[in-house]
Amino acid sequence: MENPSQPCLAFNYRESDGTCQLLHGGSSQLVPAEGFQAFVQFLCLTDYPKMKNANESFEDWNGEHPAPQGAKVVFTCQKGFVDGPSTHTASCSCNTPDVWCTTFALGEEDGLCPP
């Protein structure tokens, strides 16, 4: 193992003999099928969308990457969001790996919280 302290984000498993191949370092490798099945963790490796002038807090994680499935960023705005809600969120998707689901339209986040 190159660095056993790195997280295992994916692995290959063969049920017939219990062989498990761990994939480290964010890389992937092709292996002959030979009965192996591939598994990946649902994580968000990319950074969450930022919102200008908003305060951020984290739920179900500490803000470090990778973010686990269901991790949430809660945005609050001292003057209130211009679109009405008291909070907005970005959540690491439970359905698609490395996708952040937001309560705001991406591309509009910088104008939602006035300075």
pLDDT in tens, 44-60: 888 999 999 999 999 98
| CA pair distance 110, 54, nearest whole angstrom | 9
Predicted confidence at residue 23, as pLDDT, reads 65
Checking if the pLDDT of 31 tops 60, the result is no
Helices and strands (H and E) in the chain: how many: 0, 9
Domain ranges within the chain, ordered by starting residue: 10-40, 44-111
Reference 75, options 103, 101, 98, 47; nearest CA is 103
Burial class for 9, CB neighbours closer than 10 Å (0-12, 13-18, 19+): buried
Report if pTM > 0.85: no
Q: How confident is the model at residue 6 (pLDDT cuts 50, 70, 90)?
A: low
Checking if the pLDDT of 10 tops 70, the result is no
Instruction: Report angle CA 93, 24, 46 to the nearest 5 degrees.
Output: 30
